[in-house]
Amino acid sequence: MFSYMINNFANNLPIYLMRIPAILLSLTVHETAHGWVASKLGDPTAKNQGRLSLNPLKHLDPVGTIMMLLFGFGWAKPVPIDVRYFKDKRRGMALTALAGPVSNLLLAFIGIFIYMIAAKNLLAPLLSGNTFVYVILLFLQVFYSLNLYLAVFNLMPIPPLDGSRVLFVLLPERYYFGIMKYERYIMLIMMLLLFTGILSRPLSLIVSAIEKGMRTVIGLLPFL
């Protein structure tokens, strides 16, 4: 298993190198979106702690970043949220939680849009062996795919992912905080499912469906 991972990493080294800037941008925008929405709803916690920043170092979680690099699924350091500042705690929590994945869906849409335009207008140079064009298109694929995976993964109702915060809206508080007590164990189980590939397959199917939908919408534009 370990030797397979090493060989896979070596064989796909260009992809992993492209993931690094894509991860830095995607995770940074994701967490900044959480903090920005929380701030607009009256919670200054993220702003006071310097998390309304596009500096990746303020947001990266070591384990989550490595997971993103190796598997395409991962997370950043959660932005601190104090629901006591929200006029409506449940609504405020839900909007703040959804801001991150929505920002990644928007980045993915923009990435697919640029890719489809570039692929159409730059296809001839690509077929003639233009390496620079090939690298651009490949990076765009890595970028929008990573953002789709990040959005879908974080919407899972598993602590500490954003989907678990949405549970705060749907469940009575005693049940919600009862589940959150087991956050560490739930995360270990989730990581095991990712390593074994059991979780990756259904998430990949969802990502593919969303990508297909975005491509269909963009394809309706008259200039494509």
pLDDT at 104: 96
Q: Which residues are catalytic?
A: 31
Higher per-residue confidence, 171 vs 218: 218
pLDDT at 224 over 70: no
pLDDT at 5: 46
Find which of 9-13, 71-75, 190-194 is predicted with most confidence, using mean pLDDT.
190-194
Which residue reads 């690094």 in tokens? 20
> Which amino acid is residue 180, in one-letter code?
M
Taking the C-alpha atoms of residue 113 and residue 145, their distance in angstroms, rounded to an integer, is 13
Point out the least confidently predicted range of 66-80, 121-135, 171-185. Answer: 121-135
Domain layout of the chain by residue ranges: 2-219
pLDDT, the chain, mean: 83
pLDDT at 10: 52
DSSP 171-205: S-HHHHHHHHTTHHHHHHHHHHHHHHTTTHHHHHH
pLDDT in tens, 21-52: 999 999 999 999 999 999 999 999 999 999 99
pLDDT in tens, 104-147: 999 999 999 999 988 877 665 555 566 777 788 889 999 999 99
pLDDT at 1: 45
Residues 6+ apart with CB under 8 A from 207: 145, 148, 149, 152
pLDDT in tens, 188-199: 787 787 777 787
Average the pLDDT over 2-9 and give the result: 49
